[in-house]
Amino acid sequence: MTKAELKKLILTAKGEIPADLVIKNCKVVDVFSGKITEGDIAVSDGQIAGVGTYSGEKEVDAKGAYAAPGFIDSHIHIESSYLSPEELGRLLVPHGGTTILADPHEIVNVKGIDGLDYMMEAAKNTKLDIKFLLPSCVPATPFENSGAVINAKDMEEPLSRDNILGLAEFMNCPGIYNVDDEALDKVMAAKKAGKLIDGHAPGLTGPQLAAYAAARIQGDHECATPEELQERVSLGMYVLLREGSACHDLRPLLKGVTPENSRRCLLCSDDRQPRTIFEHGHLEYSLRICVEEGLDPITAIRMATLNAAECFRLYDRGAIAPGYRADIVLLDDLENFHVQKVWIKGEKAAENGIYLPEVKKYPITKVQSSVHLKDFSAEKFKMHLTSDKANVIEIQPGGVVTKKAVEKINVKDGEFVFDPSVDLCKVAVVERHHMTGNVACSFLKGYGIQHGAIAISIAHDSHNIITVGVSDEEMAFAVEKLKDQDGGIILVKDGEVVGSMPLPIAGLMSDQSGEWVNTRLSLLHETAFDVLGVNRDVEPIMTLCFMSLPVIPEVKLTDEGLFDYYKWSFIPVCVDEDVEA
């Protein structure tokens, strides 16, 4: 802000000169006092000058609508939408989203700093204010191969960037409480840069959680119970209540929100697929849930605005008050939270569900060509089994947590034979970044596939290829076809492609519209259910995406083998007769 702009803002606030914009006749949500104030909102050079009675060069009659601060999503992975930053901005802004805290963990694991640079440049082409946190765990663990490795020294330059607020979800909890030098070096890099550190600590409690919090980890979006929420708040952490496409933690966690601790609670998506946006919206959907569960609507709005702004040190936004950014959302009511209009920094960005600015996209050249295989064939899926009992990954409904189970499997000549009467299939992870030739196999229970195979290049967090199918030949064919289209999603049956969605941006994101992605995803889902026989209570793509994520309990598969979260080590697939899970 220049001195001239400051002078203009002050004189506008006093009513001595007309505002650039006045939104008249509002019911203003005051997140500081918890009250509703009736009046006009005056805007000068993208900032709020005051709330009261004002005149302006341009005036808009709100006709008694509620005016809330722009919504802030406190943790989201743009890549999980399968959309470019520009396209996700086009979809979120009409739902009241004005700021998101983005963790580009997925693309950085594939493309390194080139991926970060792409995201930051592309973000400039949307009115949605995208603030970034630097991925803290690339790779997420040392138990897999990712496309890049970023150590503490590598973090120094990105952490110096103005639009990077700190380190994103620090998933290596054991590295913190076991005082691992590499983990602590990353923490110290953030502290030296004066930046915050966001958290990720599923299931962590007691002394280990206290040790994690002692490193001044800012918050956690992995709470599963009200008790976990309250424990984190008592340790000085923020809790990000997640309602995404894959994980639905908001309703159960709201039972732990009280008037005393609500100021330490935020709202986030973590992931948001186009289908979810088109069907439910964005944070206004979370606000509806909050009110349905009995939370005061202004408290809910505060969780989506001021609390998030304060947590992430965005002190220029999160409220409708003098000197704050003019990020304003007009709402029909404080029950359904239907969004009428959205202003970002004083410019109208959306009206009646339509994004108003022109959409321009940044070139994707540096983040293309991301699937690299070595000596790959169906032979790579041979397991040479020594037992007919195996540790298997059992899908749990409604989330990404899995259970380790021991199951009897159908074995012939040392190899698994698929039995369509048993809900158990082979799953494999194929390394796609450095041509190591790594392929690891295990078994998946609860997925339900009856025919063909699926292969995808979205496999959290290192994003190797993950494939599941009824035979080695079908799985190999799916992987080869995935390579041919340079990443994305492939469904095959009887040696033919029956569904596909190319994702040319690092094998993670489409360069097409949200509507195109939504339509294609819907077709892929129906094909997975109707043609391949996947269980209808399983989200066929996103569920598969998380079967290789070793930092989420209980057991997952990386390109190096079957990994037990609680043992924090690899375990054998085969189980001896006398050994229990």
Q: Give which of 231, 281, 562 is closest to 428, Cα–Cα.
A: 562
Confidence (pLDDT) at 141? 81
Domains of the chain: 70-318 (3.20.20.140), 368-570 (no CATH)
Look up residue 36 and give its amino acid: I
DSSP letters spanning 262-308:
GGGEEEE-B---HHHHHHH-SHHHHHHHHHHTT--HHHHHHHTTHHH
pLDDT in tens, 483-520: 999 999 999 999 999 999 999 999 999 999 999 999 99
Radius of gyration in angstroms for the set of CA atoms belonging to the chain, rounded to a whole number: 25
218 vs 52: CA distance, rounded Å:
36
Can you tell me which residue has the tokens 């697929």? 273
Confidence (pLDDT) at 464? 97
Q: Give which of 45, 54, 46 is closest to 13, Cα–Cα.
A: 54
Are 559 and 523 contacting, i.e. CB atoms less than 8 angstroms apart?
A: no
Instruction: Give the chain's residues under pLDDT 50.
Output: 579-581
Structure tokens at 62: 């709100």
Confidence (pLDDT) at 581? 42
Q: Which residues of 78-153 form beta strands (DSSP E)?
A: 97-102, 129-134
Helical pair 113-123 and 152-159, crossing angle rounded to 10 deg: 20
182 vs 322: CA distance, rounded Å:
44
pTM for the whole structure: 0.93
DSSP letters spanning 490-514:
EEEETTEEEEEEE-TBTTTB-SS-H
Q: What angle do CA 505, 508, 510 make, to 5 degrees?
A: 55
Confidence (pLDDT) at 251? 97
Are 307 and 239 contacting, i.e. CB atoms less than 8 angstroms apart?
A: no
Confidence (pLDDT) at 369? 86
285 vs 144: CA distance, rounded Å:
36
- Compute φ and ψ for 394, nearest 5 degrees: -105, 120
282 vs 274: CA distance, rounded Å:
10
Q: Which residues of 420-439 are buried (b: 16+ CB within 10 A; e: fewer)?
A: eeebbbbbbbbbbbeebebb
